């Protein structure tokens, strides 16, 4: 599937007030900050992904894969830009988004210095699998975002759509560059385990810092709503177990298995005007250009 670069401007700082940053999700503060904590990762994370693929772009001879890499880079650059806007809004709300973003940047810069290109690409594979799993659930289950702020729901659905479109690009680059089937398998599985630990520890750190700054650290009902959201209904984490374990199969490929029925519908409505106007209160994101 060809990744399509969509230059959408969601104008988040103009559409959302600082007071809404912690309450934009229908489930309240803790679930809102779960997504907010993930948003902190994206600007530096997307730059790392782009860097890890650019290390190999000149070695790729397959024209289709070359085009896929360009589409991947274009999509990730747009994601980073929109999440920078939202992270700046979090700063204006008194949340430590920039401070947490700098920490992630230093961590990833350190990885660039100490890891060979093959390991950097394997880290990208692992993190792309995480985003693809979450994107699949966002597109598959309307309960994840329905009745939340329509502009934020549109932002996350657009992100989920494009993460799905390019979810196999880094994997295909890795497979085309691997030295051998056994060494490649061991590398991607080892880096998945290590990346999983690092990613979720940092995600938890971001979440706790956000909730603490917003005054909700002692709100047990809020933590309970987040636990139900993640493990019961819609069960974002509980439904990630099987696709996560599938990554460790020797014959794994990101496009295995059925795609969510909503994928093509969201793709056809690629500028997300319908999603952003469901409540009739928010203008659609601007489509500046399409590649």
Burial group, residue 225, by CB count within 10 angstroms (0-12, 13-18, 19+): middle
Higher pLDDT, 8 or 236: 236
Domain boundaries, the chain: 19-273
Instruction: Please report, for residues 12, 140, 156, 160, 239, the alpha-carbon distance to residue 137 in angstroms, rounded to integers and kept in the order given.
Output: 23, 5, 11, 9, 8
For residue 4, name the pLDDT band (cuts at 50, 70, 90). Answer: confident
- Better-predicted residue by pLDDT, 25 or 4: 25
What value does the mean pLDDT take over residues 180-208? 93
What is the pLDDT, as a whole number, of residue 235? 92
Confidence of residue 168 (pLDDT cuts 50, 70, 90): very high
Residue 243 has a pLDDT of: 92
On the question of pLDDT at 276 being above 90, the answer is no
Angle at 92 between CA 86 and CA 96, to 5 degrees: 80
The pLDDT score that the predictor gives to residue 280 is 38
Listed in sequence order, the residues at least 6 apart from 44 whose beta carbon sits closer than 8 Å to its beta carbon are 101, 104, 105, 108
Predicted TM-score (pTM) of the model is 0.88
Taking 70 as the threshold, does the pLDDT of residue 286 lie above it?
no
User: Lowest-pLDDT range, 11-20, 142-151, 241-250, 251-260?
Assistant: 251-260
User: Per-residue pLDDT averaged across 236-265, rounded?
Assistant: 84
CA distance 149 to 140: 19
Convert the pLDDT of each residue in 117-157 to its tens digit: 999 999 999 999 999 999 999 988 888 998 999 889 989 98
| 274 pLDDT higher than 80 | no
Residue for token pair 């920078």 = 84
Q: Which two tokens stand for residue 142?
A: 């309307």
């Amino acid at each position: 599937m060809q990744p399509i670069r969509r230059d959408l401007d969601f104008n988040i700082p103009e559409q959302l007030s600082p007071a809404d940053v912690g309450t934009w999700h229908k489930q309240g503060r803790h679930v809102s900050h779960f997504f907010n904590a993930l948003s902190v990762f994206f600007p530096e994370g997307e730059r790392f992904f782009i860097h890890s693929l650019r290390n190999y772009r000149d070695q790729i001879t397959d024209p289709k894969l070359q085009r896929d890499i360009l589409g991947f880079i274009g999509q990730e650059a747009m994601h980073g830009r929109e999440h920078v806007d939202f992270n700046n809004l979090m700063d204006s709300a008194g949340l430590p988004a920039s401070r947490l973003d700098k920490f992630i940047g230093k961590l990833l810069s350190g990885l660039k210095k100490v890891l060979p290109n093959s390991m950097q690409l394997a880290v990208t594979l692992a993190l792309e699998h995480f985003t693809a799993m979450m994107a699949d659930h966002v597109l598959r289950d309307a309960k994840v975002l329905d009745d939340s702020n329509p502009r934020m729901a549109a932002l996350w659905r657009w992100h989920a759509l494009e993460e799905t479109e390019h979810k196999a690009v880094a994997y295909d680059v890795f497979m085309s560059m691997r030295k051998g089937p056994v060494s490649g398998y061991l590398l991607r599985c080892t880096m998945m385990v290590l990346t999983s630990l690092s990613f979720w520890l940092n995600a938890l750190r971001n979440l706790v810092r956000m909730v603490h700054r917003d005054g909700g650290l002692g709100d047990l009902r809020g933590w309970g709503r987040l636990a139900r959201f993640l493990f019961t209904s819609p069960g974002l984490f509980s439904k990630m177990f099987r696709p996560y374990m599938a990554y460790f199969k020797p014959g794994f490929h990101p496009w295995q298995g059925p795609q969510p029925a909503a994928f093509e519908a969201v793709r056809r409505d690629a500028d997300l005007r319908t999603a952003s106007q469901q409540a009739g209160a928010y203008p659609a994101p601007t489509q500046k250009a399409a590649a």
